[in-house]
A and B are shown apart, each in its own frame.
Chain A
Amino acid sequence: MSLRKFITNKTTAALAVLITAFANTSVFAQDAAAGAAAAPKVDMGEVYKSVIFYILVFLAVCLFIAIIGKALKVYELSREAQGKPVGINWNRVHASLFALFLVIGLYGVYWEYTVHGSMLLPDAASEHGKKIDRMFNLTLIITTIVFVATHILLFGFSYVYKYSAKRKAYYYPHNNTIEKIWTIVPALVLTVLVLMGFLTWRSIFFKVEDPNNKPLQIEVTSEQFKWSIRYPGADGIVGNKNYKLTTASNTLGIDFKDVNSRDDEMADEMVLPVGKPVKLILTSKDVIHSFYMPHFRVQLNTVPGMRTIFEFTPTKTTAEMQQETNDPNFKYLFYCAKICGSGHYNMQKVVRVVSEAEYKTWIAEQKTYLNDDLRKQFNLPVAPAPVKSVADSAAKDTAAVKTNQVALNK
């Protein structure tokens, strides 16, 4: 019977190992052969030596552990032979290790909070970001308290109530009052967090537009693996675009039949006037990317076929931030946070927050997307474009309605 079971277990294990391992790992063998044949430029002898060295080190460690294991076994057997109680009280060992782990672990957490905690993003540089930071701090305080308290209980109980043959555990199957308390208390705490989070979320995404302080529209288009920024020009409106119009000279597919498009300007970096609301219109040409601007607590995916909108107000200029962080090279950045292909790890642009005056001089220097080639393509007069014409500003309001509708339809 035992032979039968022996075969059962052995064969099962062996078969499962063989089949799965063979099926799954022979790939590496193949590639190894291919790789070895392809480029034996490096001195592989050295490489193999170092690999063998590490394997030997590991085997030595294993041997060391095996020796300790044997020694423990001999010790326990000799105790048993002498009729003394069992050699090592492992329950006590583990209980002490848990207590030790608690102490060292709590210190580790403290160390992390202070050392790594000081390497984080500076305070938010946007209005809504301050609210987010406040929420974050509140959540951090609550969770840290719970984290520390529950771990003290967990490892504390493990230490105090370790096994003893003399004792019997306390038969305590339930206590409805206590259970109600620890259902209701977390529920209340979470309600507070939910409410605060909900209100903050609403204040970020459901903004009432102040007619006297209209946000600056900026369109950002992502593609593998770069960003294109489009400023609205004098009319303050980013014009329509249509992906079907995309050509090598009109990479964004801007529709220049729309008068609002004709004065749209391109920019290598994002320059924002401080204290003025900015309405980011985010789109994507190819795959999903994510527009991530952590210093301002801004993130929203850019999705092909859909416009996403994020509105925020920067509150600190780059220069102020450089002072605050004591880093003269500090730069605001935005970069991609959604996996988008091989260049995902390097898809960034600089953001510069400046005073209103600086912004005005900068924006005046930017070139329009519309150039002579495109004028020809769109059958527009190839002359200095009358971008700042009266007609444009008159068309402004109706066009604004139009863009909104487009946004809704998409």
Chain B
Amino acid sequence: MSTIALHDEHSHDHADHGHHKETLISKYIFSMDHKMIAKQFLITGIIMAVIAMGLSILFRIQLAWPDQNFPFLETFLGKWAEGGRIKPDFYLALVTIHGTIMVFFVLTAGLSGTFSNLLIPLQIGARDMASPFLNMLSYWFFFMACVIMMSSFFIQTGPASGGWTVYPPLSVVAKAMPGSGLGMTLWLVSMVLFVASSLMGGINYVSTILNMRTKGMDLWKMPLTIWAFFLTAILGILSFPVLVAGVVLMVFDRSFGTSFYLSDIVMGTDILPNEGGSPILWQHLFWFLGHPEVYIVIMPALGISSEVISVNARKPIFGYHAMVYSLIGITVLSFIVWGHHMFVTGMNPLLGGVFMITTLIIAVPSAVKTFNYLATLWRGNIRFTPAMLFAIGLVSFFISGGLTGIFLGNASLDINLHDTYFVVAHFHLVMGSAAIFGMLAGVYHWFPKMFGRMMNPKLGYLHFWLTFIAAYLVFFPLHFLGLDGVPRRYYAFTEFEFMKKWLTVNVFVTWAAIMAALAQVAFLFNFFYSIFKGKVSPQNPWESNTLEWTAPVEHLHGNWPGEIPTVYRWPYDYSKPGHDADFIPQTVPFSQTMSSNLPHDFEGNAEAEKIQQDWELANPVTENKG
């Protein structure tokens, strides 16, 4: 708490002359201000997302027209698309890097990094993160990870191409595929930096939330966004180190001749000396992170959508406590479900049964969240801002993708669905669509907070409808390919008679994907244009209750001029009967809202209840409440 007091003194007069001189570099590049770091994360995340989306269009083109040449591709890709046709190895590199970038760089760093950094201090009422320096390092480690990952496109043998899960021995034995040479080394280095970045971020988020909440902001008054970021950070802190352990062992296997993951391997007739390891070990280590990782991806998106839906439905989020408990449930359970990625890897079938049980249990808190969203919309007064549209889109995708998860979580059904397009469709609905929609909802909602300007809503509408429709057109048909037994990561469907009937579907899906990609131009233009030319934002554009909207539009180091506001109430007092406006910010004390206070608000404080009763006796209700 003492740090906060110190900061207070500084920031009083900060706006006038500043207590330390800021140069261009300290302000824009090596910034330690959480708002600036959030912007850095967001813009880097958006750029990485555009790159990864571009990669996906490349391999979609290959899937749709496997027999056709596109000489233009050669112009871009050189020897990897000789004669205008993508090579099988490069195809695998494309899917690998697409997955890696999307999962780690966009949906982990781009999503958590942006919104945790922006919102944690602003919504809990802190001047900055607990450790601004660590925060800065976190961004720069992330940035280096991005650059190293992309640099693997420069090298002769190409990027890592063993799938984003980089299962050994494929990824360890350099002879197995060209991408397992230097490209894989870069992948591992990039991943270590990325995990370091994630951990620095995560530790910061947790310590900030636990120690630096403003007066009155007890845990049960935190917005659901903060709960989501908090639990996400805990998940990351506990699971990412396991990935690093796995990665280090892999580096040893690749470079120093150890045999953690290798045993009994013959490449052609070349007998490798490794003995005693097991490739399954990597899968355990990887998925021990990998599964919590998908919740690291979705939970912040769920937090953001809870907030956005509540604000725009002008209604308290239904079942706030249930929402928090279901997040906690998901957090705990997500540590004991990793085996469902390994039902058919040869893991002991007994384990498969156990992991199936834990996996299907995790559907319960997810279902509770969905129903609570629906109940929040019920009898709301819904404003369809672009953020709200994306939040509703998220709920739809979360339902669709969640339900297909029930098939895959069932070990018996997974036998025939494992590693088919059904899986691709499933996780693109939950991660590729729902989580991205959560991120976009967040961008539209908090853009005014980040840049002090509004985005153009009409372009936002266009962006939403095109993306929403295109995403369903892309991913819905893919389920059926999977149900027909078409495996994922196939370079072409030309070698199997039965897959030929899906070629037309592939063409259709590719066109839908191109449409989705072009729709993002509407977003990118809107985003970058509005940074400079958007309408100047009012202080509280969405009439929201949370603390960040009490901070001035002008950014200043320390967030609030003068004292940090005190919090008196939970963040979801929307449309409270008896109050004239349909929202009551968290900073409004109950003494100013006597006409709308409910007995429940006082949490058993007898004195306050007494005051309220006296007031009600003195001011009998004349009009019907509600």
Q: Which residues of A contact B (CB under 8 A)?
A: 1, 5-6, 8-13, 15-17, 19-21, 23-25, 27-28, 30-32, 34-36, 38-39, 41-42, 44, 47-48, 50-51, 58, 62, 65, 69, 72, 90-91, 94-95, 97-98, 101, 105, 108-109, 112, 116-117, 119-121, 131-132, 135-136, 139-140, 142-143, 146-147, 150-151, 153-155, 157-158, 161-164, 167-175, 178-179, 182-183, 186-187, 190, 193-194, 197-198, 200-202, 204-206, 223-224, 243-244, 246-248, 251, 253, 282, 285-288, 290, 292, 294-295, 297-301, 303-306, 308, 329, 331, 333, 335-346, 348
Contacts and interface: CB of A to CB of B under 8 A. Distances in A.
Contact of B377 (A131, A157, A253): A157
15 contacts: A9-B531, A91-B383, A98-B392, A147-B399, A157-B377, A168-B626, A171-B626, A173-B319, A183-B322, A202-B349, A286-B265, A294-B484, A343-B88, A345-B495, A348-B495
A169 B313 contact: yes
B597 interface: no
B429 to A, nearest CB: 11
A242 to B, nearest CB: 9
A127 B532 CA distance: 66
A340 to B, nearest CB: 6
Contact of B76 (A24, A35, A305): A35
A44 B75 contact: yes
Interface residues of B, number: 163
B568 interface: no
A349 B351 CA distance: 30
B225 to A, nearest CB: 17
A6 to B, nearest CB: 7
B497 interface: yes
Given A117-B480, A224-B176, A341-B177, A10 B531 contact: yes
B590 interface: no
Q: Which of B81, B143, B322, B522 has the most CB of A within 10 A?
A: B322
Interface in B304-352: 313-322, 344-346, 349, 352
Nearest to A173: B316
Contact of B363 (A173, A186, A204): A186
B413 A136 contact: yes
Given A32-B76, A35-B79, A197-B356, A161 B413 contact: no
A24 to B, nearest CB: 4
Contacts of A247: 269
A65 B395 CA distance: 28
A161 B80 contact: no
Chief secondary structure at chain A's binding surface: helix
B166 to A, nearest CB: 10
Q: Which of B268, B380, B461 has the most CB of A within 10 A?
A: B380
Contact of A27 (B143, B150, B370): B150
A408 B490 CA distance: 34
A147 B395 CA distance: 12
Contacts of A340: 170, 176
A69 B460 CA distance: 12
Q: Which of B43, B82, B264, B483 has the most CB of A within 10 A?
A: B264
B71 interface: yes
Contact of A198 (B262, B356, B465, B626): B356
B176 A15 contact: no
Given A36-B75, A132-B412, A16 B314 contact: no
Nearest to A43: B71
B279 A288 contact: yes
A112 B364 contact: no
A263 B376 CA distance: 70
B582 interface: yes
B245 interface: no
A6 B532 CA distance: 7
Contacts of A202: 349, 353
B9 interface: no
Contacts of A11: 24, 28
A351 B377 CA distance: 54
B88 A174 contact: no
Nearest to B373: A154
Given A169-B313, A198-B356, A306-B278, A150 B374 contact: yes
Contact of A139 (B271, B407, B420, B461): B407
B209 interface: no
Given A17-B47, A161-B382, A292-B487, A132 B266 contact: no
A305 B263 contact: yes
Given A31-B80, A121-B483, A304-B264, A286 B176 contact: yes
